[in-house]
Amino acid sequence: MTGTVNIVFATDRNYIQHLGAALISLLFNNKELPFTIHIISSGMTEKDRRKIEEIAKGYNCTIRHITVSDHLFVKLASEHTMYPKGIYYRLLIPSLIDEKKVLYLDCDMIINDSIKPLYEQEFGDAWVCAIEDPGFDRHQQLRMDSASRYFNSGMMLINLAKWKAGGLQQKVIDFIEHNPESIWFPDQCGLNSIINGQWKKVPLKYNQQSSIFSEGFDDKFDCFSREELQEARTHPVIIHYTGGSKPWHYKNKHPYKYLYWKYLKMTPWKHAIYSDLRPAHLLKSMIPKNLKPAIKKMLKKQAN
């Protein structure tokens, strides 16, 4: 491999701790690779930046911070309130990064082995290299061909030259804005609609999703071979903690939960505790649901 390996993370302030764990796992398990880490973020403080820079010390790694306005994507976020605005930041990659290809990674990941074979994948005419998201059947709603496969956007080796030439960024944003009723996973549905199956499949071990550990998965879905599933379960390269339950939640039962905490202890957040055991969270959980709107309204009034 010649040249630097370009990695992109996108985050708001709520996920910076998890970005720290993902970053150190990437660097620790890929010491032989030279990296440029592009971090697209809003709300990151100078203290946050210093912590990220501290993680990168001792590795062949350059950190490039790209700050975007917190006012971006307000309209989209208001239509899909379950998702933070940070998920849309990956759509800005073509206008913010001038490279031929980049590897985009979600922050709720741990990199468990070398990503070199993944980064060296050839695109052919594909927009991205990714893994399939199983169980998709909403081709008509997303205006996709019936035979097109649907990929998970948490890990994408991006053919950035093609994205720029094809104007993908604006096409995806336009689709999300004009088809809110068709969207389940905002950026992911938008990307799949426009790319429409023109992507290259890579082994599941490069984006091991939590769902593959659910009971009956092998019998329910046939998009992965048993060999591919076995490899992803036992020797994952990238562990993606998909779903609502994350390893920083006390009751999370992911079999690789321990790796999140292993790498977090190698960061400035080494003294962190489970997010749902923090005093503020526990206090909030004790407030009856019917009182929460009134309390929120009162606090907002006092702030003004």
- Phi, psi (degrees; rounded to nearest 5) at 60: -80, 80
Q: How many Å apart are CA 100 and CA 235, to the nearest integer? A: 29
Residue 283's Cβ-side half-sphere holds a number of Cα atoms within 13 Å equal to 4
Most distant pair of Cα atoms in the chain: their distance: 59
Whether 125 contacts 113, CB under 8 Å: no
| Domains with residue ranges and CATH for the chain | 5-272 (3.90.550.10)
pTM reported for the whole predicted model: 0.88
Strands (E), 219-302: 238-240
Q: What is the pLDDT along the chain (304 residues), one digit of tens a residue?
A: 668 999 999 998 888 999 999 999 999 999 999 999 999 998 899 999 999 999 999 999 999 999 987 655 655 544 545 555 667 788 899 999 999 999 999 999 999 999 999 999 999 999 999 999 999 999 999 999 999 999 999 999 999 999 999 999 999 989 988 888 888 887 899 999 999 999 999 999 999 999 999 999 999 999 999 999 999 999 999 999 999 899 999 999 999 999 999 999 999 999 998 876 655 544 554 456 665 566 455 544 554 4
CA distances from 190 to 153, 182, 262 (A): 10, 9, 35
CA distances from 292 to 289, 295, 296 (A): 5, 5, 6
- The residue type found at 230 is Q
Q: How many Å apart are CA 118 and CA 157, to the nearest integer? A: 8
So what's the pLDDT on residue 126? 98
